[in-house]
Structure 1
Amino acid sequence: MEPVLALTDTQISTWVAAFMLPLFRIGALLMTMPMIGTALVPKRVRLYLALAITVVVAPSLPAMPAVNALDLSGLLLIAQQILIGAGMGLSLQLFFQAFVIAGQIIGIQMGMGFASMVDPVNGVSVATIGQFLTMLVTLLFLAMNAHLVVFEILIESFTTLPVGQGISTADIWLLVMRLGWVLGAALVLVLPAIAALLVVNIAMGVMTRAAPQLNIFSIGFPLTLVLGMVILWITLGDILNQYQPLAVDALQLLRDLVKAR
């Protein structure tokens, strides 16, 4: 008689946990992070990518706890991995939203607040300058291989934050407090442009007081728009020096969240 392969419930649970638990953390990150977790990338493609990454990295990950997928403890572990992955993706979203807010502030100041387009990432209408800065930051993020750093932190998180150990309350408060960092970073980005546009608006006000018969609305709006584009063009020359410290802070926040080195 041919030998019969006998598998115990413990062996099956170990094999399932070794693959499924990392899959949920990796999939949650890919579903929520910028670029990959947007509406531009179909959900099926994101799922295939999560499966491929899990298959590649699963043999090198620490041993996973045996779990019954239909048990309450197994469902809690799955929910925990989803929350960890989603928290990592949210911390990266904060970095990109700083540039979106900066673009919206500049657009309003230079009179282009009415010029909006549908953002395929969030599915809402945003200022065109905000969308332009988002695409620019995305290209910089990919050009500097920051996405590879994100995947490195993700794989390291299985060692520093193993399955079964959740994010502490202090880490959650750290993420919440960083919401104010987004607005502060956006203000730092647009401060030179706001100051220059403020000088232009003050000059328009002086011209109105000096020559009341001058139709300031006929020349003020196009002049502010043109000068705003020139100021934006000048400030883009220093965008790399503004991008680097914010990217370092965003990646450090991601490391602090999962207690990575």
Structure 2
Amino acid sequence: MLLNFVLIATFFLVFIRMVSFIAVCPLFSTVGIPPLTKAGLAFILTVLITPMVQPVDPSFPGGLWGFALVVFSEVGVGLALGLVCTFVFNVIRIAGQLLDFQIGFAMSAVMDPMSGSMNTLVSRFLFFLTLVLFLIVDGHHGLIRALVKSYELVPLTTAGINGEISLLVIRIFADSFALALQIAAPVIAVLVITDLAMGLVGKTAPQMNIFQLGFPLKIAVGVSSLAILLPALTSVFKLLFDTLQRDLLLLMKGLA
């Protein structure tokens, strides 16, 4: 009976961390995926991972309340890992929104039911392109391996939160904005030069309607610049995926 309780408690805690991660990670938390499918994926992964996890001690300090605290701890670990994935994937979305603002597509923002927020054209295009490339390079397998590794680096019932974890999450959040700006910088630079050129034309030829000419011109220049730079973004995507693995490893070491 004791052995059964140990197995059930271990399985339940593994499942809690797994389902918390899947609920937040952008790759698995897409609204288009039915909740039952997400729960089934978490259950299957839990069945495969549980035999490799060190069983928990059935004597939880504090009895039922102690077990509840352990459950909340595992939820926190799963959410923290998923939150780091969200920060890294949102780099592309932020870069796309910066480009949309400069190109003029920000006025065409629509409600994205997948993310539950307002998204623009280039932002959605780059985000879905990132997801496709991530699946092509088997990045989802890497995420699952990292999640399995988390049970080794952060064993069940041993997670802890300290000031270093908070600083790490803040640093990842800040780095995501910096990297997004670096990705969008070449196209933004071209668009700024276009704005300056149109300003000079407006001064030398006041009879021209710069506002009417500026919108289609900036769209053409922005989209053309993005199309030219798109092949070079593959190296940026590789850097992004490497950053994701590094940040997940740092977070797991900090939680241990």
* TM-score normalised according to structure 2 size: 0.94
Deviates more, 1:112-121 or 1:148-157: 112-121
Answering whether residue 187 of structure 2 is matched by residue 193 of structure 1, we say yes
Question: Unaligned regions of 5+ residues in structure 1, if any?
Answer: 1-6
Contact kept, 8 Å, 1:101 with 1:130, in 2: the verdict is yes
Contact kept, 8 Å, 2:7 with 2:55, in 1: the verdict is no
- 2:32 pairs with one of 32, 40, 59: 40
Deviation by residue 1:7-52 (Cα, 9 ceiling, x = unmatched)? 3xx3342121121010000111111101211212121111111111
User: Counterparts of 2:91 and 2:70 in 1: how far apart (Å)?
Assistant: 32
User: Counterparts of 1:219 and 1:243 in 2: how far apart (Å)?
Assistant: 34
User: Counterparts of 2:95 and 2:40 in 1: how far apart (Å)?
Assistant: 34
What does residue 4 of structure 1 align with?
Answer: none
What does residue 227 of structure 2 align with?
Answer: 233
SS where residue 114 of structure 1 aligns?
A: helix
SS where residue 208 of structure 2 aligns?
A: coil
Aligned length: 252
What does residue 175 of structure 1 align with?
Answer: 169
Contact kept, 8 Å, 1:17 with 1:67, in 2: the verdict is no
Answering whether residue 162 of structure 2 is matched by residue 159 of structure 1, we say no
- 1:28 pairs with one of 20, 29, 34: 20
What does residue 139 of structure 2 align with?
Answer: 146
Question: Unaligned regions of 5+ residues in structure 2, if any?
Answer: none
User: Counterparts of 1:115 and 1:70 in 2: how far apart (Å)?
Assistant: 55
Identical amino acids, percent of aligned pairs: 25
Instruction: Kindly report which structure 2 residues correspond to 1:15-94, keeping only aligned pairs within 5 A, or say none.
Output: 15-66=7-58, 71-94=64-87
Q: CA deviation at 1:67?
A: 5.2
Go from structure 1 to structure 2 and tell me whether the alpha carbon gap of 1:168 and 1:57 turns closer, same or farther (over 3 Å shift): same
Deviation by residue 1:121-147 (Cα, 9 ceiling, x = unmatched)? 221221111011110000111111111
What does residue 221 of structure 1 align with?
Answer: 215
User: Counterparts of 2:126 and 2:98 in 1: how far apart (Å)?
Assistant: 12
Runs of 4+ residues over 2 Å off in structure 1: 10-13, 67-70
Query: One-letter code of the match for 1:168?
Result: I
User: Counterparts of 2:82 and 2:199 in 1: how far apart (Å)?
Assistant: 45
Larger radius of gyration: 1
User: Counterparts of 1:38 and 1:79 in 2: how far apart (Å)?
Assistant: 24
Query: One-letter code of the match for 1:29?
Result: F
SS where residue 106 of structure 2 aligns?
A: coil
Q: CA RMSD in A?
A: 1.6
- 2:104 pairs with one of 108, 111, 115: 111
User: Counterparts of 2:160 and 2:99 in 1: how far apart (Å)?
Assistant: 37
* TM-score normalised according to structure 1 size: 0.92
Q: CA deviation at 1:70?
A: 7.2
